[in-house]
Structure 1
Amino acid sequence: MAQIPNLDNAPLNLSSLREQSQRELLNILKSVRGRKCVVIDPKLSGSLSLLIQTSLLKESDAELRHLSSERLQTECSKVLYIVRSQLNLMKLISSNIQNDISKGLQKEYFIYFVPRRTVVCEKILEEEKIHKMVTIGEYPLYVMPLDEDVVSFELDLAYKDCIVDGDTSSLWHIAKAIHKLEFSFGVIPNIKAKGKSALKVVDILNRMQVEEPVDSSNTGVPEINTIILLDREVDMVTPMCFPLTYEGILDEVLRINNGAVELDASIMGAQQDGKKMKVPLNSSDKLYKEIRDLQFGVVMQILREKAMSMKQDYAEISTTRTVSELKDFVKKLNSLPEVSRHINLAQHLFAFTSKASFSGRLDIEQTILECQAYDICFEYIEEMIHKQEPIVNVLRVLVLFSITNGGLVKKHFDYLRRELLHSYGFEHMFTLNNLEKAGLFKKQEAKGNWPNINRALKLLVDENDPSNPSDISYIFSGYAPLSIRLVQHAIRSGWHPIEEILKLLPGPHLELKRGGYSNVSSLDTARSIPASLERTMDGHRTLVLVVFIGGVTLGEISALRFLSSQEGMGYDFIVGTTKVVNGDTLLETLMSNAS
C-alpha cells in the first residue's frame, strides 16, 4: 500500500497543494542537469516520502543519500543538498566539501534550504570558506498534508523554541504557511486566537496580507470560514494524558512518524527476525480510517468480528455456486491484508494495555485530574523514581501533577528535584531547568486554577458508552481535552461567555473579523471587532482550520473528528500543526539530549 496518503476526500483541495510542492521539488532536480547525488537531511526524508515516490526522484537521474557525519562517497560530479536551515547541518556540508577539496576533487555543489535560507546559515558557509563554491536556493515547503484533515508545518522544536528559548522564528513560518493556504483558498474571514504565540502569528499574518495581499477576486468566497489558533502552552494537560483510541495507543507504544510506524517484521507475522518494516497508517487504509478514532476495546471487538466473518466465508466457499457469489468472496478477500495487518498490530498493543502498570497509570491520571489524594499522587511519583522507570514516564506524571496543582509545595518540589537528579544523573539538571522555564514543574505560589477550569468547562465527564460515545471525553477515559472544549465554545457561541475562564489560562486571547476580506494591518485596530462563527444556511458545511502552535496530539485530532461527525454539527475541521506530538515526544524536546 502506498505511503502517500489519498487526499481525494479532503474537505479542501489539499491534492493541489501537494502537487505544487511535488512540481517545485522536481523543478529543483531538473535545474541541476545530468547525473547528480541528492543528499537529503534525514529529518526531511519522512516528510518527502509523504510528498513524492522515491522512484520519481530517481527518474531525475539522481542518486539518493542521507546527510550524516560520515564522508560522502559518490562518483557524481554534482552534489545537491536539500536541508533545513540548521547550523549543525551547515557544519556537516562544509566538512564534506572540504574533504572533496583536500582530495583534489572538482565538483559542483547546490544547497536548497527548506523552507527558506537564513543569514546565519550563509554566515557559517562564509566562515568555512565554501560560500563561493555553492549555489544556494530555497524549497518553500511550508505545508505538508499528512492526511485528509491534517496538515503539518514540520517545526518539531516550535514548543521549546517559543516557550523555553524565546526564539519566535517558527511563528513567521506558521504565518507564512497559513498565508500560503489563503492564496489557494481565500482570505480566512474569522480569526480566534488564544496564547501569546497565537496572537503574534495573527499579527504577522495580517502584516503579510498588507505586504503581499491575496486577491479575493481570484479566490472568490473563502473556503475556510474560521481559523482558531491555540498555543500548546494553553493546554499542557492533554498531552500528558494517555489516549485510549486505537490510533492514540499505536502512537504511544510504537510512535507514528510521518503517517507510518516502523516495527519488527515479526510483529506483523513475517518470518524475518530482527528485520524492520514500515507500516503506513492513513486514510488510504479504509479499515484504519474506520477504526482509528474508536476506543481500543471497541476496535478489538470489531477486529474479532471481522476475523470470525472471514472464517465463515472460507467455510462457505465450497458451497459457492454462482459467479456473483464468487465475485463477492473475492471482494472480501481483497480486504484480508488490512484486517490481518490490524489484528497483528492490535495483538501487540494488547500485550501492553493488559499489564497492571497500564491500568495503574490510568488510575493515577484520573486521581490527579480530579485533584484528589495529593499524598497518594506524590508517593506514586516517588515510587516511579525509586523503581527507575524511564525518566520520560516519570516526567509526564510529574508535569500533570504540577500543572493541576499550580505547582508543588517547596518541600516536595525540592525533594523530587533532588531525587530525580540522584536517580537519573545530573545531566538532567538541564531538563529540569527547561521544565521550570516552561512552567511545567514549579514551586506552588498560590492555589492552582485547575479545579475552577475543570468545573466551568466540564472537563471530567462520567464514562460514556465507549461503543456509542456522546462526548469527546471517551478519548481519554472520562477527560475531555481542554483545547477541544475551547474549540467547541468557539464554534457554538464564541468565547465571550467563557471570558473569565480564558483569563485563567496562559496568554491573551482575541476574536476578530477581517471584514469583507479586508486588510487589517494591526491587531490594535481589530481587537474590538466581535467575531461569531456562522454556519452557512444553504446546507454547505462550514470549514474551520484549527492550528496548534507547539504540536497536536492524535487524541485531539480524534476529538475534532468526533465533533464533526455528530448529528446536526455543520462543521468540518482541518488541523494545522507544527508537529503531531504525544507527551513523550514533547518532553523529549526539553531533555538534555534533544538537538
Structure 2
Amino acid sequence: MFKSKQPAQPQTQQGGKQMAQQQKPQQPQQQLKPIVLSQIPNISSKVLNLTSIRDQSKLDLGDAISTLKGSKAIVMDPKLIGLLNLLADPTFLQNYGGEKRYELKEGRLDTECKNIVYIVRPNIKYMYWITEHVRQHQSENLRKEYSIVFVPRATILCSRVLEEEGVMGNFVIHEFPLDIVPFDEDVLSLELSNSYRELLLDGEKTSLFWVAKSLMKLQAMFGTIPIVKGKGQCSRLVMDMIVRMRKEMSEEVTVPPEIDSLILLDREVDTITPMCTQLTYEGLIDETFGINNNAVFLDEGIVNPNQGQQQQPNAPPPPPTGKKVPFPLHSNDKVYSEIRDTNFSVLSGLLNKKAKDIDEYYKMFKTTQSISAIRDYMKKLSSYQMEHNSLRIHTCITEEILEVTKSNSFMKGIEAEQNLLAGVNLENVESYIEDCINKKEMIHKVLRLLILYSATHNGIKPKQLDFFKREIIQTYGFEHKITLDNLESLRLIRKSDTRATFPNIRKDLHLIVDDLNEQSPNDIAYTYSGYAPLPGGWRHIEEVLRLLPGPTFEEIQPLPQGATSNVKSDRKPITLVYFIGGVTFSEISALRFLSRQDQANPYKW
C-alpha cells in the first residue's frame, strides 16, 4: 500500500541540521575564476546530431534580419529573447549588422540607428507599440527604415492593424519560420506556451499544424519515421495532417531513417502528473525558481561573486544584491548533467562527493613531479575550474530549495498529493485544501490540488466543490470565477458523476511503488517519490488505454523508395516521444531513466 510517505530529505547531522547546511561541499583551496557558460548547448553528441536544426534556424534568422542592409537596431519580443539566445549569440547578430539590441516595450524607442528590425510574434498589442515608435520618430523628424520579422508567420489581423493605423507602408515584412528549437542534446521544444488552452478551451487547432510541420521537418532531416503510435484526439489529428502532407509532396527526401518510432501523446491523456510536485533536482528548480529557455534567474552575487568571496570557499553565500542574472542549465554543465535527474533527497551526498573529487584533483599538483604529468594536469585544469564554479552555484541553489522543502507547508502539500494518489484520507485532504485557502496560499497551489483531487477521484462531490469555489472567490477575488469556469469547461475540475476509473488505472499500470529505492532507483517512480508517470507501453495495456481520453492508434509509414538501403542495423533504436500540450522536467527525467534501463534512446519532447 502506498502510504502518504514524505519525500526523504537530505540526511541530517549532529544538532539536526541538514547536510547541505552543516557540511557544505569542501571546495578546493583555489581562487575561483568566473567561467561563463553559454546558454547555447552543445547538441552534436549522443543520439542525433541536432546541430542541423539549429544551423537551419540561424540561416533563416540571418536572412530575416538582413532585409535591411547595413547596421541596425534589433528590437525583440520579450518572450522571444530567451528562445533566440538558444540559437544565436550576440556575435552572430553583430555579423548581420545587429549593432544595438532592445527589448520591445510600450512607449518611446530612442536609438541612433537608422535601420530598425522588429522580431516579434504576431501579437496585436505589439502592432500598436510599434506604430507608436514610428509616429514618435516622424514627429521628431527622424528618418528611419523599418522591418518587421514575424515569428513564425505574419497574420491578417496584424497587417490590418498596421493598415488601419496608416503605417503599413513604412515596413518591410518578413517571416522567420521558427518551429522546433533544440534545448539540449535530447530535448526539443516548439515553445507554444498556450497550446493546451487553445486546443481544448478555445477550439483553436493552429498549433497542431505547427506540430505536424515540425515532424515533417524532422523527417526531412532524419528520414521517415517507420512506426507511429499515438494516444489522444490531437495526436490523431496530427497523424492525419502528416499523411496528407506526405501525399501533397511532389517528391520526398530519401534520407535513411535515423528515428525508429514516434509516440504522440496528448497532454489531456494524463492531467495527473503535471499537478504533482516534481521531486527531481531539475524539477524542484523549476518549482522554486522557474526554468525558462534553459536558464534560471539567480541573484548576481551567487552567479558572479567578487574576488574576495572566491578566495574564501567556505564563506557563507554572499548577501543578495537584488539583481537577477541568468544561469544556464543544460548538459554542457558537467555537474548539472550528473545531478539534474536525481531525486532531491540524495542530492547533498552527490554534491559532497563531487567536491571531494575536485579537491583530490587540486591536491595532485603538489605530488606531481614530471613535466608530462604537469602538462596533463594543466590540460584538465580549465574543466575542473568550471566544475568547481558550477558546484558552488548548485550548492547555493540546493540550500535555497532546502528552505522550501523543509517547510511545514511543503511537507503537508506533498502528503496531501500522495493521499490523493493513493485514494486514502480524503477528509484530511479536504481539510488541508480549506486551510490553504484560509491562509491565502498561492492560488496555483490550491488549483493544482483541486485538479489532482478531481482527476484521481473522477470528480468532486457537488456540495464540496461548490464550497471550494465559493471560498476561492471570496478569498482570492471574484475575477477567479472565470478561472474556475474555464477549468470546469476543460473538465479539469468537475463534479463527480460516474464510477471512478483512476483506481483501475493505478492498479493495472502499477503507478504506485511502495518499496522505492531513491538512492539507487529501479523505477521511474523515483521522480515523484513513489508515483510513476504514465508509461509509454501499448499493446499489453490496451484495455487500460480505453479508460483514458481519446483514440489509440498505431500506424506504419511507408518509406520513400531508396530510403531503406542505407539504414544502419548496428545502432540502438531511437524513439521520439512527442507531448502535445507540454511536459514536465520530472517526466523528462523519467524518460531518461527508461532509456538507460532499456538501452534505448528515447527523445523527449
- Aligned-partner residue type, residue 197 of structure 1: C
- Residue 388 of structure 1 aligns to a residue whose secondary structure is coil
Aligned equivalent of 2:471:
419
Return 41-50 or 174-183, whichever deviates more.
174-183
Give the whole-Å Cα distance in 2 for the aligned partners of 1:214 and 1:202: 19
What percentage of aligned pairs have identical amino acids?
41
Higher relative contact order (CA 8 A, sep 6+): 2
Deviation at 1:458, TM superposition (A): 0.8
Which of 3, 21, 24 aligns to 2:60? It is 24
List alignment gaps of at least 5 residues for structure 1: 490-494, 519-535, 577-595
- Contact 1:198/1:549 (<8 A) preserved: yes
Number of aligned residues:
546
Task: Please give the residue correspondences for 1:97-496 in structure 2 after superposition, counting only pairs within 5 Å.
Answer: 97-212=134-249, 215-217=252-254, 219=255, 221-268=256-303, 270=305, 271=318, 273-311=321-359, 318-323=366-371, 326=374, 330=378, 331=380, 333-334=384-385, 335-482=387-534, 485=535, 487=536, 489=537, 495-496=538-539
Q: What's the CA shift for 1:231? A: 0.9
Match in the other structure for 1:82 = 119
CA-to-partner distance for each residue in 1:213-265, whole Å, 9 max, x for gaps? 56243x1x211111111111111111111122111111111111110100112
Cα deviation code 1:381-425 (max 9, x no counterpart): 011101111111111111111111111111001000000000000
Q: Cα distance, 1:199 vs. partner?
A: 1.1
Q: CA deviation at 1:108?
A: 2.0
Shift of 1:321: 3.7
Q: Higher mean Cα deviation, 244-253 or 22-31?
A: 22-31
Q: Once the two structures are superposed, what CA deviation does each residue of 1:50-81 show, in whole Å capped at 9, x if it has no partner?
A: 10011221233222111111221122222211
The 2-side partners of 1:133 and 1:320 are apart by 68
Q: Alignment partner of 2:297: what SS?
A: strand
Q: 1:179 offset after TM fit, Å?
A: 0.9
Kept in 2, the 8 Å contact 1:463–1:474? The answer is no
- Letter of the 1:228 partner, please give it: I
Shift of 1:469: 1.0
* Matched residue SS, 1:541: coil
Q: Counterpart amino acid of 2:591? A: L
Q: Could you tell me how far 1:555 is from its partner in structure 2?
A: 0.7
Q: Which 5+ residue runs of structure 2 have no aligned equivalent?
A: 1-36, 306-317, 562-566
What's 2:559 paired with? 516
What is the CA distance between 1:324 and its match in structure 2?
5.3
Residue number among 584, 593, 600 corresponding to 1:553 in the alignment? 584
Q: Letter of the 1:246 partner, please give it.
A: Y
Q: Is the Cα contact below 8 Å between 1:189 and 1:517 reproduced in 2?
A: no
Q: Classify the secondary structure of the residue corresponding to 1:229.
A: strand
Q: Partner residue of 1:562?
A: 593
Find the aligned partners of 2:557 and 2:448 in 1 and give their Cα distance.
40
Tell me which amino acid in the other structure corresponds to 1:563.
Answer: L
Residue correspondence of structure 1 range 534-545 to structure 2 within 5 A = 538-545=569-576
Mean Cα deviation higher: 424-433 or 306-315? 306-315
Cα deviation for residue 446 of structure 1 reads 1.5
Q: Return the letter of the residue paired with 2:124.
A: L
Q: Aligned with 1:146: secondary structure?
A: strand
Distance in 2, Cα, partners of 1:37 & 1:306: 45
Deviation at 1:93, TM superposition (A): 1.7
Deviation at 1:133, TM superposition (A): 2.3
SS of residue matched to 1:516 = coil
| Superposed CA RMSD | 2.0
Q: State the Cα distance separating 1:539 from its structure 2 match.
A: 3.4
1:480-516: per-residue Cα shift (whole Å, max 9, x none)?
Answer: 101xx1x1x1xxxxx3432221121111221111133
Q: Is the alpha carbon distance of 1:509 and 1:317 closer, same or farther for their aligned partners in structure 2, counting shifts above 3 Å?
A: same
Displacement after TM superposition at 1:212 (Å): 2.7
CA contact 1:267–1:348 (8 Å) conserved in 2: no
Question: For the structure 1 residues 455 and 28, does the alpha-carbon distance in structure 2 shift closer, same or farther, using more than 3 Å as the test?
Answer: same
CA distance in 1, matches of 2:350, 2:376: 20
Q: Secondary structure at the match of 1:31?
A: coil
Residue deviations 1:437-495 (CA, integer Å, cap 9, x gap): 1111111111321101111111111232112111101110111101xx1x1x1xxxxx3
Say if 2:223 and 2:253, in contact at 8 Å, map to a contact too. yes
- CA distance in structure 1 between the aligned counterparts of 2:438 and 2:302, rounded to whole angstroms: 32
AA aligned to 2:527 is I
Report what 1:51 is aligned to.
87
How far apart are the structure 2 equivalents of 1:309 and 1:573?
Answer: 31
C-alpha distance after superposition, 1:66-103 (max 9, x if no partner): 11112211222222111112222222222222333344
46-55 or 80-89: bigger deviation: 80-89
Amino acid paired to 2:355: A
C-alpha separation between the residues in 1 aligned to 2:165 and 2:208? 29
Contact kept, 8 Å, 2:72 with 2:113, in 1: the verdict is yes
User: C-alpha separation between the residues in 2 aligned to 1:114 and 1:439?
Assistant: 32
Indicate if the aligned counterparts of 1:384 and 1:394 stay in contact, CA closer than 8 A.
Answer: yes
Q: Once the 2 structures are TM-superposed, how far is the Cα of residue 268 of structure 1 from its aligned partner?
A: 4.5
Q: Does 1:573 align with 2:602?
A: yes
Residues 246-291 of structure 1: per-residue CA shift (max 9 Å, x gap):
1111111111111010011234573562222211110111121111
Alpha-carbon distance in structure 1 between the residues aligned to 2:138 and 2:304: 49
| Shift in alpha-carbon separation, 1:214–1:198, aligned structure 2, 3 A | farther
**Separation in structure 2 between the aligned mates of residue 451 and residue 213 of structure 1, nearest angstrom:** 50
Which amino acid is the alignment partner of residue 581 of structure 2?
G
Q: Distance in 1 between matches of 2:133 and 2:478?
A: 35
Provide, for residues 307-358 of structure 1, a one-character-per-residue CA deviation record: whole Å limited to 9, x for no partner. Answer: 2344455566545444455456653643322222222222222222222322
Is the 1:188–1:517 Cα contact (8 Å) retained in structure 2?
no
Counterpart CA distance in 2 for 1:208 and 1:538 is 28
Shift of residue 570 of structure 1?
4.2
> Would the aligned equivalents of 1:183 and 1:214 in 2 still touch at CA under 8 Å?
no
Q: CA deviation at 1:556?
A: 0.8
8 Å CA contact 1:42–1:67 kept in 2: the answer is yes
1:593 counterpart residue number: none
Shift of 1:19: 0.9
Please say if 1:505 is aligned against 2:548: yes
Q: For 1:310 and 1:18, how far apart are their aligned partners in 2? A: 34
Matched, 1:70 2:103: no
| Residue of structure 2 equivalent to 1:6 | 42
What amino acid sits opposite 1:91 in the alignment? Y
For the 8 Å contact 2:252–2:560, the answer to whether it is kept is no
Distance across 2 between alignment mates of 1:185 and 1:516: 12
Query: Structure 1 length as normaliser, TM-score?
Result: 0.88
Tell me the amino acid that sits aligned with residue 573 of structure 1. Answer: P
SS of alignment partner, residue 218 of structure 2 = helix
